[in-house]
Structure 1
Amino acid sequence: MNSILRYFAAQPDAPPLGDQGAIDAEFRRHRRNVIVVITLCYGLGYVCRLALNVVKKPMMDAGIFTPEEMGLIGSMLLYGYALGKFSNGILADYANVKRFFAAGLLLSALMNFGMSMSTVVWLSAALWALNGWFQGFGAPSSVVALANWFSNNERGRYYGIWSTAHSIGEGLTYLGIALLVAMPPKGLGLHWSWGFITPAAVCVLASLIALRFLQDRPQTLGLPPVAEWRNDVINQVSTRARDAGTILRDQLRVLAIPSIWVIALASASMYITRYAINSWGNVYLQEIRGFDLFDANLFIFLNTAAGILGCVAFGFISDKWFSARRPPANLIFGLMELVPLFVIFFGPQNDVLLAVALVVYGFGLSGILASLGGLFAIDVAPKNVAGAAMGFIGIFSYIGAGMQDYISGKLIYQSETRVVFNMGDATPTVYFYDYSAPIVFWVGASVVSVLLAACLWRVKARD
């Protein structure tokens, strides 16, 4: 056990380099590698998190699970992720994030391999809960890397770049897996199990990339803290000695920051809407709008593709237009996320209008996700406990998301109408579902999120 703990523990500081030219060169090289690796690998790892969402309808049609059982299984991942993101966020502050990140990706891959063979509710729920736990290694590791390698007045831009990983991963999932399992001619028509096997293989590859190219803190390479290197020190909190007592005290101080609690509640509300679209959006389009599996996932892909631009735009706008203040950008992007929901669910039944609304929704959602999902929290928390701040926000966010998945599944199942056709010896049954109640739940959560975020207008960053 001790050898395992030593393997994952943060490395000790190396003797400082004396050559400023060498320091500059090392920072430039490793900063480039860090942002590329955490964005790429987090995006690839995302595919292992969302695979169930794409194969949900084929599994329901095959009679493997009911909507209520699907909601239960889906919620277990989100509860597992909530606990994992919080506990692993605390551990990430002490860990060598390169090894920590890679381990989470590998273990998540194993859970997806298991899901490809499971048709038992309790086993699938257990595997998906563990998958959520292991997925919780990724975001805290990435945020700790961002806090260690990028300073305050640039972090919004780089956080925005990293946040594109959410959209990259969602896009790869909804389009890539749909191509595998959708029926010809639009897809390959493979068995639903390939919707888990392929993401597992992708996660193994991502684990190897992270282990090879990601780096621990700059000080382990003999470099100074990034705030000193960039002359961007607000105060001296981030330059104190990295000892366990200091880290633990600062982790506890996170809980005493009122704005952190408001951010957590706003993020939880936003995640209800976010995962409603992620988990049930393509099912809604198939059940209510009459799309086939491929077209439904193609429309959901539009929102994720727009999200790539939304993440980058949020970081740039909040850094450049508002001098690294997040609240004004939160309001702009929050409204861009909220208004299209009314068009999607209550507007005219027009495919072009639906596509435009999903694009605007994805753009706004990804911006507000970048902020409420982590950036705003690490702005207002001490930087040596960025992982704990991210984990605290994460546990609220994914408890909200998990409640959404179970409640949505139950509401949909309770609305079930069965129509039985008498055809001699055969009596086929067709199931119809009403989404009115879930839609009110999803849109209402978005309204609450925007209002809570607006309450933080005067909150400022610290180092």
Structure 2
Amino acid sequence: MALPGSLRRQPAGRGLVSHCTHHHIVVFLLTFFSYSLLHASRKTFSNVKVSISSQWTPSCLNSTAPELRPYELWNSSHLFPNAEEATLFLGTLDTIFLFSYAVGLFVSGIVGDRLNLRWVLSFGMCSSALVVFFFGTLTEWLHFYNKWFYCCLWVVNGLLQSTGWPCVVAVMGNWFGKAGRGFVFGLWSACASVGNILGAFLASCVLKYGYEYAFLVTASVQFAGGVIVFFGLLTSPKEVGLPELGADEDGSVEEDANRPLMSNDDADDDDRNYSIQATDTDNQPKAIGFFQACCLPGVILYSLAYACLKLVNYSFFFWLPFYLSNNFGWKEAEADQLSIWYDVGGIIGGTIQGLISDVLQKRAPVLAISLLFAVGSLFGYSRSPNSKPINAVIMAITGFFIGGPSNMISSAISADLGRQDLVKGSSEALATVTGIVDGTGSIGAAVGQYLVSLIQENLGWMWVFYFFILMTSSTILFISPLIVREMRLLLHERRLRMLAE
């Protein structure tokens, strides 16, 4: 008995290995490190919050600061009367950044589908590097402190940094098909965690000279990366004469290997050529519309789920070093280095869970199981003792079960959504769909950062973790229809295989 096309699974790495060239490797590395550098500059801000807070408050309130005379000269330019108000403003800056980042993602996805992805990405990296330099380095060198100026710079920085993710996901989606996509994108999506580690490392190395040098180093490296991307990145295989995805001469085998997971498995295989747009390989396909992309199956549900999950993930990203210093009294540089273990767990989690989803050819059940464990790990981490080794282990486990699903939704699943059957032949849907998913997630993360600061100030850190547990549970709730659908498909495929044997 012949199996339906949807059940003729290819080995996870077969299509990937047989069609991998040195161009694929270069694209993987350039997109990986370009987004790593963007995240490194964001991580720098979160890692130097204690130093910035001290600089923005009068030295008489900082027990570790030397007493300098005359008092008026050294304290007249400070922004806040105490550290609590400075901390609240830092949380507000996080919220401002994420809101502008979210708005920018919706726009950048549309722009990326209509302009050259390399130009958009390079412009965003170089311009953002200049803004980070102005924010953290130039203002300190000039001793210029102004809340409205900081807010304006961080709005611009959020808009510029939003060009990164839709562009790199779209480029990766152009080069890597369904075969092994979960594993490849799971490994590649570690770029954010690697960027966090790089940012924490650079900040901890130069923080003793002043927080302005942490911004200087990361901004310089990011600007250099933007220049390299401009001259070295290939946005699609056709730029070097390679066939685009689905256009290989291997016929139905390659078509099946590149068919996305989000396709309608219940449809007849003979109707696979249906698409919203005509698939004329001689013409450049038109970009999909914004509202048309929103109506694609799974986009809204995954976007809402990612809003809850990114809130938790980015709260760890923005507040973990501060929490370790504030709650346990550890030195800022030690807290920066210890926070790396959360990202290590996210790297391993995204890769392993992506590989498992490749084997099952279903994403939602893998996400659900991981998020259930994430609830338990959050509860355990909230009760971590004042021990660095134990804290690091629980932190890595938490990163595995939270960072892993977050990486999957923002990369592999976004690529699946942008390459489902309804938009087959339109790679220009990738950046738009990615912008919608990540933009909605960033709105949730933006609201979350302000809520975290309010909850912590009024109720304490324990209630912050209860809030994280609630948001993680909400993530499972939003994707529950997809979980049910994919579990039914798994059971249906299993019955067909049993009949075939």
Tell me whether 1:204 sits opposite 2:204 in the alignment: no
Q: 1:135-165 CA distances to partner (integer Å, 9 max, x unpaired)?
A: 1111111111112111122322221122010
Quote the offset at 1:191 in angstroms.
Answer: 1.1
**Which of these residues, 13, 34, 39, is aligned with residue 46 of structure 1?**
39
1:206 maps to amino acid: G
1:446 alignment partner in structure 2: 472
Q: 1:393-445 CA distances to partner (integer Å, 9 max, x unpaired)?
A: 11111111111112222333456xxxxxxxxxxxxxxxxxx324333222321
| Aligned length in residues | 409
1:396 alignment partner in structure 2: 440
Quote the offset at 1:260 in angstroms.
Answer: 1.2
2:496 alignment partner in structure 1: none
2:287 alignment partner in structure 1: 247
Q: 1:217-274 CA distances to partner (integer Å, 9 max, x unpaired)?
A: 223333321222262354444982487884234x432211352111111101011111
2:193 maps to amino acid: S
1:219 maps to amino acid: K
Q: Distance between the aligned counterparts of 2:481 and 2:375, measured in 1?
A: 17
Tell me whether 1:287 sits opposite 2:326 in the alignment: yes
Q: CA RMSD in A?
A: 2.4
1:298-377 equivalent positions in 2, closer than 5 A: 298-319=337-358, 321-323=359-361, 325-377=362-414
Q: Is the 8 A contact 1:85 1:137 kept in 2?
A: yes
Q: Is the 8 A contact 1:140 1:391 kept in 2?
A: yes
Q: Distance between the aligned counterparts of 1:192 and 1:260, measured in 2?
A: 40
Q: Distance between the aligned counterparts of 1:272 and 1:401, measured in 2?
A: 4
Distance 1:241 1:194, change over 3 A: farther
SS at match of 1:224: coil
Q: Is the 8 A contact 2:109 2:166 kept in 1?
A: yes
Q: Is the 8 A contact 2:202 2:218 kept in 1?
A: no
Identity %: 22
Give the structure-2-normalised TM-score. Answer: 0.76
**Which of these residues, 28, 40, 49, is aligned with residue 21 of structure 2?**
28
Q: Distance between the aligned counterparts of 1:130 and 1:113, measured in 2?
A: 13
Q: Is the 8 A contact 2:202 2:217 kept in 1?
A: no
1:263-278 equivalent positions in 2, closer than 5 A: 263-278=302-317
Q: Distance between the aligned counterparts of 2:214 and 2:377, measured in 1?
A: 30
Quote the offset at 1:106 in angstroms.
Answer: 0.2
1:196 maps to amino acid: F
SS at match of 1:456: helix
Q: Distance between the aligned counterparts of 2:229 and 2:465, measured in 1?
A: 39
Q: Is the 8 A contact 2:107 2:435 kept in 1?
A: yes
SS at match of 1:247: coil
1:38 maps to amino acid: T
Q: Is the 8 A contact 1:80 1:133 kept in 2?
A: yes
Q: 1:444-463 CA distances to partner (integer Å, 9 max, x unpaired)?
A: 21221133234311258xxx
Q: Is the 8 A contact 2:97 2:155 kept in 1?
A: yes
Give the structure-1-normalised TM-score. Answer: 0.82
Q: Is the 8 A contact 1:49 1:132 kept in 2?
A: no
Quote the offset at 1:42 in angstroms.
Answer: 1.1
Question: Which deviates further from its counterpart, 151-160 or 377-386?
Answer: 377-386
Q: Is the 8 A contact 1:97 1:215 kept in 2?
A: no
Distance 1:388 1:110, change over 3 A: same
Distance 1:413 1:123, change over 3 A: farther
1:145 alignment partner in structure 2: 171
Tell me whether 1:89 sits opposite 2:133 in the alignment: no
Q: Is the 8 A contact 2:120 2:163 kept in 1?
A: yes
1:224 alignment partner in structure 2: 243
1:47 maps to amino acid: A
Q: Is the 8 A contact 1:109 1:203 kept in 2?
A: yes
Q: Distance between the aligned counterparts of 2:119 and 2:354, measured in 1?
A: 28
1:414-425 equivalent positions in 2, closer than 5 A: 414=458
Q: Distance between the aligned counterparts of 1:444 and 1:218, measured in 2?
A: 43
Q: Is the 8 A contact 2:127 2:160 kept in 1?
A: yes
Distance 1:73 1:255, change over 3 A: same
Q: Is the 8 A contact 2:40 2:199 kept in 1?
A: yes
1:68 maps to amino acid: L
Quote the offset at 1:336 in angstroms.
Answer: 3.8
**Which of these residues, 113, 122, 133, is aligned with residue 113 of structure 1?**
133
2:5 alignment partner in structure 1: none
Tell me whether 1:379 sits opposite 2:405 in the alignment: no
Tell me whether 1:194 sits opposite 2:213 in the alignment: yes
1:299 maps to amino acid: L
Q: Mind listing any 5+ residue stretches in structure 2 that lack a counterpart? A: 1-16, 58-78, 81-85, 140-144, 260-271, 490-501
1:126 alignment partner in structure 2: 152
Q: Distance between the aligned counterparts of 2:155 and 2:440, measured in 1?
A: 16
Tell me whether 1:104 sits opposite 2:124 in the alignment: yes
1:19 alignment partner in structure 2: none
Q: Distance between the aligned counterparts of 1:25 and 1:440, measured in 2?
A: 47
Higher Cα Rg, which structure: 2
Q: Distance between the aligned counterparts of 1:68 and 1:244, measured in 2?
A: 49
1:313 maps to amino acid: I
Q: Mind listing any 5+ residue stretches in structure 1 that lack a counterpart? A: 1-23, 182-188, 416-433
Q: Distance between the aligned counterparts of 2:395 and 2:455, measured in 1?
A: 23
1:163 maps to amino acid: S
SS at match of 2:211: coil
Q: 1:308-341 CA distances to partner (integer Å, 9 max, x unpaired)?
A: 222222222211x212x11122123223433221
1:94 maps to amino acid: R
Question: Which deviates further from its counterpart, 267-276 or 338-347?
Answer: 338-347
Q: 1:108-138 CA distances to partner (integer Å, 9 max, x unpaired)?
A: 1011111123332111111112111111111
Q: Distance between the aligned counterparts of 1:349 and 1:264, measured in 2?
A: 37
1:429 alignment partner in structure 2: none
Tell me whether 1:177 sits opposite 2:195 in the alignment: no
Q: Distance between the aligned counterparts of 1:267 and 1:379, measured in 2?
A: 15
Q: Distance between the aligned counterparts of 1:26 and 1:265, measured in 2?
A: 35
1:240 maps to amino acid: T
